[in-house]
Amino acid sequence: MSISTRGVAFWSSVFCLLAAEQAAAIDYYTVDPAHTSIVFSVAHSGFSYTYGFFRKATGTYKLDKDNGANCSFSFTIDANSLDTNNQDRDKHLRSPDFFDVQQYPTITFQSTRCTASNTQDGVIYQLTGNLTIHGVTKQVNVPLRMLGSGPGPYKDQRTGFLCQIELKRTDFDMKNLLDGNLVGDAVGITVSFEGSQQQPGTAPVQ
Amino acid sequence: MFLHTFLCAGVVPFATAAVVAIAVAQFGAVPRVYWLLGTALGFVAGYIALKNQSGIVPAIASITRPQTAADWLPIIVLLALGVGLLLAQSAPRWIGIGLAGLLALAVPLRLLCTNARLTSEWTATEKLACVCLLASAFGAIWLTLARNENARTAKTQLLLLLIDATGIAAALTISGVLVYGQACGSLAAALAGTALASAFVHWQNRNSVDEAHDASEAFGWSSGFPAAAGVITFSLGGFIILGHFFADLSATSALLLFVSLAAAGGPLFEGLLRRAAWQHAVIRTLACLVPLGVAVKLSFG
């Protein structure tokens, strides 16, 4: 039985419509650096926690409200932008004793898998991805809570997120000053960011 | 932490250097050879000990598969050891000097090629000029340290080299890089261990002392430590360069540390050698310690 030309055209149209609808369901966002905060905390000699920021970060992400598996997130942080409110300490943290920013100037995260679930606290995205710090790449799991979604003050479409995780710096080959817990191994990280939806026609995220 | 640093950057390189130097001397090696082996292997042992925070295997792996720029320095020191041994043997001199020149050129290239700012922001001309300048500095210091074989000044020079290595360690630590400071400390300990071993070998063969016209020569110091010039130059010089390009050691401090290093070990003018021994020692000490002191002071900056 041969398939008629009209039949091929019909099914092609159906597939194209489905593909277009699928593409339309995915929204692309660019991280807004002005509304992105990356805060870390680390224990000092068992007496206190020292808090610091990374002041420069860029990123993009794509969201599929219908299918969490299609979502992905990509972040790049300028390691040199760290700030703990003490210049001498910042200098030391940037040095080869810790981040070695001259050799490893960026911290990156690229998600490889994503699931989304609706909870009492809103939509939670469970990300699995590759986190690279100090030239060492580790797979990490990151819970990402969507804080809000809707039109922003500049009439753009925005989404905002919060994530809180704990890492061990030794996993990323930063092993100095561990004796006596002078600088703790566990590092608490809080990231909150907003993204502005990209206009159609702009380059999609990777 | 201080006990750990003392053990890894002090005891381990000191003991390794002493044991290696004595063991090699027992097989009839001349001072040039056991000084080279003691200093180089002592430094490498200290570096591995400092890296031994997650076990000995990862520590050795950090040298066999270097990740950071500093991890290349033990390999560079072992290459300098190889060239030094070649120069200490009866191989044609031009081969040794050619290899030393190649090493002096390759070391800044290797150390700086992972520096993101330098590789992305500097022009090709700036990079070339920088590598040529650093290669010249390495070559000049190596030649300066290696040329000196004056028994009369050896004790002062050795003491100043030890102070210099410790001062460079202090300047780097104050500049914000503890690991570089610790590693420089391990070179100082390796030098001290080799010097002690050299004196021990002298004590063992004390019958020959009476025949020697100077105790420093009998200790094997005057002909010994100039042979380790390559090891001293690339370890301390390498860390000075890394301190400037990867941390906050200023260019002025780095230059002063290089001057201090050259003044500690290098031969002074012939005119100065004709002066009394104490005058010579004072001049050399000032030439070495003044720039070192200023560099350490500037590091607090």
| Rounded Cα distance, A31 and A33, in Å | 6
Predicted pLDDT at A178: 87
- Is residue A1 scored above 50 in pLDDT? no
Q: What are the C-alpha distances in Å from A54 to residues A41, A79, A82, A130, A191?
A: 12, 7, 4, 19, 10
Nearest Cβ partner for A103 among B54, B176, B246: B246
Which of A101, A176, A178, A181 would you mutate first to test chain B, the one with the most B CBs within 10 A?
A: A176
Please answer yes or no on whether A96 and B115 come within 8 Å at the CB atom. no
- The reported pLDDT for the residue numbered B203 is 81
How confident is the model over A51-105, as pLDDT tens digits? 999 999 999 999 998 898 999 999 999 999 999 999 999 999 999 999 999 999 9
Instruction: Pick the closest to residue A33 from A75, A96, A79 (CA basis).
Output: A75
Q: Tens-digit pLDDT profile for chain B (301 aa)?
A: 678 888 888 999 999 999 999 999 999 888 889 999 999 999 999 999 998 877 788 888 888 889 899 999 999 999 999 998 988 877 777 887 888 899 999 999 999 999 998 888 899 999 999 999 999 999 999 888 887 656 667 788 889 999 999 999 999 999 989 999 999 999 999 999 999 999 888 888 776 555 555 555 656 666 777 889 999 999 999 999 999 999 999 999 999 999 999 988 777 666 666 777 788 888 889 999 999 999 999 998 7
φ, ψ for residue A67 (rounded to 5)?
A: -140, 100
Is A204's pLDDT higher than 70?
no
**How many degrees, rounded to 5, is the angle at CA B9 between CA B5 and CA B13?**
150
The answer to whether residues A202 and A169 touch, using CB atoms and an 8 Å cutoff, is no
8 Å CB contact between B193 and B17: yes
Q: Tell me, what's the ipTM?
A: 0.85
Closest CA to A124 of A157, A164, A158: A164
Question: Under a CB-based contact definition with an 8 Å cutoff, are residues B140 and B261 in contact?
Answer: no
- Mutation pick from B2, B3, B51, B67 vs chain A, by most beta carbons of A within 10 Å, is B67
What per-residue confidence (pLDDT) applies to B53?
A: 72
Contact indicator for B162, B192 with CB cutoff of 8 Å: yes
A96 contact residues in B (CB cutoff 8 A): 68-70, 177, 179-180, 242, 246-247
Write down the pLDDT at residue A179: 81
The answer to whether the Cβ–Cβ distance between A91 and B117 falls below 8 Å is: no
DSSP classification of residue A84: -
How deeply is B170 buried, as exposed, middle or buried, from its count of CB atoms within 10 A (0-12, 13-18, 19+)?
Answer: middle
* The residue to which tokens 């380790």 are assigned: B228
Mean pLDDT (whole number) for A43-50: 93
Residue type, B201: V
In this predicted structure, what is the pLDDT of residue A13?
Answer: 59
Query: What is the mean predicted confidence (pLDDT) over A104-120?
Result: 94
Distance CA B135, CA B141 (A): 10
Confidence tier at A15 by pLDDT (50, 70, 90)? low
DSSP string over A14-29: HHHHHHHHHHHHEEEE
Q: How far apart are CA B14 and CA B165, in angstroms?
A: 14
- 3 state DSSP class of A8: helix
Helix/strand/coil (H/E/C) assignment for every residue in chain B: CHHHHHHHHHHHHHHHHHHHHHHHHHCCCCHHHHHHHHHHHHHHHHHHHHHCCCCHHHHHHHHHCCCCHHHHHHHHHHHHHHHHHHHHCCCCHHHHHHHHHHHHHHHHHHHHCCCHHHHHHCCHHHHHHHHHHHHHHHHHHHHHHHHCCCCCCHHHHHHHHHHHHHHHHHHHHHCCCHHHHHHHHHHHHHHHHHHHHHHHHHHHCHHHHHHCCCHHHHHCHHHHHHHHHHHHHHHHHHHHHHHHHHCCCCHHHHHHHHHHHHHHHCCCCHHHHCCCHHHHHHHHHHHHHHHHHHHHHHHCC
pLDDT tens, position by position, A163-179: 999 999 999 999 888 88
Q: What is the identity of the amino acid at A89?
A: R
pLDDT of residue A65: 85
Specify the pTM: 0.86
DSSP state, residue A172: G
CA-based nearest distance B137→chain A, Å:
23
- The reported pLDDT for the residue numbered B269 is 62
